[in-house]
């Protein structure tokens, strides 16, 4: 998530003036009331929570695609550390170790007729990388108002918030109306096959059919959309799919001093250029229309005219969104050539050349459709197409409705914990563990309830990952309000 580029702002501004003249201001919506403020007393019950998160950050739970390359000790220590940090919760709730990378908690509700809810997070992290950190990546240092370390943002903070909120409610004698499951996977960063996939299978075997699932995703974005008058709590109601597509061209090998008219590398280059000249068609999905419509009260008048009825202004919006990569990705399936290979020597012709196209699939389309379209475009070049990394493709998840009880509960909890922000639905382009639960839940909503700037987000998978004490407490307050409100 990045600020909207200046070129789009200029184009949208011009379009909005035109629409305003034509509509004689007939489509404008009232401006939203001034942003609210949070009473600091609401965070008091979660004072000191940063110490608990820091203890979890100090465990270097780095996941790898090959289990043999992992250090298993931190993963074994992690459940024991949770018991030390949240003793009341572990004394009262059932916890099952599911496989070797899943932790499942069950909190029975008072009304068995209500469908349960699942609150998910992951506790594995990516490696610290080669760039030096200001503080050691697994120090869990508490300094300058932050917890420092890998996993502090992604996503041990949400796991901590869930457990802290539940423990506080247990201490208050609260019992949820619907049954709650807390599902924590330990390999999300490498696909979730050993964690979330097994957790979902376990729930499926128990006959669980949940109303909704909450997982990581959007954030409370601070200053990332320059023309919005307040921070935006971005709730991911849809998630793009993913597939890597391999192109291969064959040719005659031999010495480069006597090349044929067409080489394998040249054939492949033409195919890649042809793909780039034919992007997937653009369209406004339910998610993007909902995002624009719900955003409209928080933007200047001209933008409100365009955003309030995105179906009417679709052509103008598509043209504007297509102008920059960040917004273009919201309205179409994207394809990017990321790997190219041919001969391994300068003066030798390759007998085959290969490219990999990374594709992020818009909801409503399919992996099979992507492969078929790419094949039809490059077939004239004699290039063959196949799915790379068989079995690792992910279909786009269905778009979840904003009129669902889960979304209403999430919105209410966000309004209570971040009253200064506007809650809007959003398309999440990255992958999450939520894909594994799609067939056992009615709806999926994705947000990490932490307020972040673009600078803050640079720490996710980068150096100097950290999270502020206030964010940790607000995250717990969000889950406290969510559990009480559903």
Residue 183 and residue 211 in one domain:
yes
- Give the domain-ending residue among 358, 387, 416: 387
pLDDT band at 372 (very low <50, low <70, confident <90, very high): very high
Choose the final residue of a domain: 387, 420, 453.
Answer: 387
Average pLDDT (294-320) is: 89
Q: Which of 371, 387, 403 finishes a domain?
A: 387
In tens, the pLDDT along 129-173 reads 999 999 999 999 999 999 999 999 999 999 999 999 999 999 999
As a whole number of angstroms, the distance between CA 75 and CA 63 comes to: 9
**pLDDT tens string 220-241:** 999 888 889 999 999 999 999 9
Per-residue pLDDT, averaged over 23-36, amounts to: 63
Which CATH number do you get for residue 95? 3.40.630.10
Considering the chain, what percentage of its residues have pLDDT values greater than 90?
A: 83
Average pLDDT over residues 46-52: 98
pLDDT of residue 303: 84
Q: Indicate which residue of 70, 106, 124, 399 is catalytic.
A: 124
Query: Does residue 18 register a pLDDT over 90?
Result: no
Residues 204 and 346 in one domain: no
Candidate list 50, 106, 187, 188, residue with the active-site label: 188
pLDDT of residue 466: 98
In this structure, are 67 and 118 located in the same domain?
yes
Q: For the segment 431-473, what is each residue's pLDDT rounded down to a tens digit? A: 899 999 999 999 999 999 999 999 999 999 999 999 999 999 9
244, part of any domain:
yes
Host domain of residue 190:
40-225+433-485
Higher-confidence residue of 146 and 261: namely 146
Same domain, 190 and 248: no
Of 189, 190, 188, nearest to 200 by C-alpha is 188
* pLDDT of res. 57: 98
Q: How confident is the model at residue 30 (pLDDT cuts 50, 70, 90)?
A: low
Whether 70 sits among the annotated catalytic residues: the reply is no
Residue 182 lies in a domain: yes
Domain count, the chain: 2
Structural domain contains residue 427: no
| Distance (Å, whole) CA 423 – CA 295 | 8
pTM of the model: 0.90
> Is the residue at 426 inside a domain?
no
* 279: CATH: 3.30.70.360
Same domain for 263 and 216? no
Active site residue 188: yes
- Is residue 364 within 8 A of residue 265, CB to CB? The reply is no
Q: Are residues 189 and 263 in the same domain?
A: no
The DSSP letter of residue 259 is -
Structure tokens at 423: 């809650």
Predicted confidence (pLDDT) per residue in 73-92, tens digit: 999 999 999 999 999 999 99
Q: Tell me the average pLDDT across 15-33.
A: 49
Do 91 and 132 have their domain in common? yes
**Mean pLDDT for the chain overall:** 92
Looking at residues 308-315, what average pLDDT do you find?
87
**H-run or E-run covering 94:** strand 94-98
Residue given tokens 């990952």 in the structure block? 465
Q: Which two tokens stand for residue 161?
A: 């918030």
């Amino acid at each position: 998530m990045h600020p909207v580029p200046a070129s789009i702002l200029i184009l949208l501004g011009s379009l909005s003036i035109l629409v305003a003249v034509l509509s004689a201001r007939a489509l404008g919506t009232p401006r939203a009331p001034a942003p609210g403020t949070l009473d600091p007393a609401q965070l008091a019950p979660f004072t000191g929570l940063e110490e608990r998160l820091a203890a979890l950050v100090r465990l270097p739970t780095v996941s790898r695609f090959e289990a043999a390359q992992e250090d298993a000790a931190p993963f074994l220590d992690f459940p024991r550390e949770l018991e030390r940090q949240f003793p009341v919760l572990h004394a009262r709730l059932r916890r099952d170790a599911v496989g070797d990378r899943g932790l499942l908690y069950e909190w029975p509700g008072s009304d068995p007729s209500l469908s349960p809810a699942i609150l998910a997070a992951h506790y594995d992290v990516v490696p610290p990388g080669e760039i030096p950190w200001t503080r050691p990546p697994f120090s869990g240092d508490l300094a300058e108002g932050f917890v420092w370390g890998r996993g502090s943002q992604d996503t041990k903070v949400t796991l901590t918030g869930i457990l802290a909120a539940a423990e506080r409610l247990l201490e208050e004698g609260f019992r949820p109306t619907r049954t709650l499951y807390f599902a924590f996977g330990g390999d999300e960063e490498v696909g979730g096959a050993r964690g979330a996939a097994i957790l979902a299978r376990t729930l499926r075997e128990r006959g669980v059919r949940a109303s909704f699932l909450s997982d990581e995703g959007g954030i409370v974005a601070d200053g990332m959309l320059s023309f919005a008058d307040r921070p935006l709590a971005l709730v991911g109601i849809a998630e793009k799919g993913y597939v890597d597509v391999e192109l291969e061209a064959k040719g005659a090998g031999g010495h480069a001093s006597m090349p044929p008219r067409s080489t394998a590398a040249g054939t492949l280059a033409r195919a890649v250029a042809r793909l780039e000249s034919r992007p997937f068609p653009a369209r406004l999905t339910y998610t993007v229309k909902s995002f624009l419509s719900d955003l409209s009260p928080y933007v200047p008048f001209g933008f409100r005219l365009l955003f309030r009825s995105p179906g009417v202004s679709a052509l103008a919006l598509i043209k504007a969104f297509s102008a920059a990569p960040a917004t273009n990705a919201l309205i179409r399936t994207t394809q990017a050539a990321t790997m190219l290979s041919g001969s391994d020597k300068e003066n030798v012709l390759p007998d085959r050349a290969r490219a990999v196209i990374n594709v992020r699939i818009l909801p409503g389309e399919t992996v099979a459709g992507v492969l078929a379209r790419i094949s039809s475009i490059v077939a004239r070049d004699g290039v063959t197409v196949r799915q790379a990394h068989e079995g690792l493709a992910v279909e786009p998840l269905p778009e979840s409705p904003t009129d669902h009880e889960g979304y209403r509960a999430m919105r209410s909890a966000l309004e209570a914990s971040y009253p200064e922000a506007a809650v809007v639905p959003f398309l999440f382009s990255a992958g999450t563990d939520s894909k594994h639960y799609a067939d056992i839940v009615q709806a999926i909503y994705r947000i990490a309830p932490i307020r972040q700037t673009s600078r803050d987000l640079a720490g996710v998978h980068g150096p100097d990952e950290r999270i502020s004490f206030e964010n940790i407490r607000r995250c717990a307050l969000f889950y406290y309000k969510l559990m009480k409100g559903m």
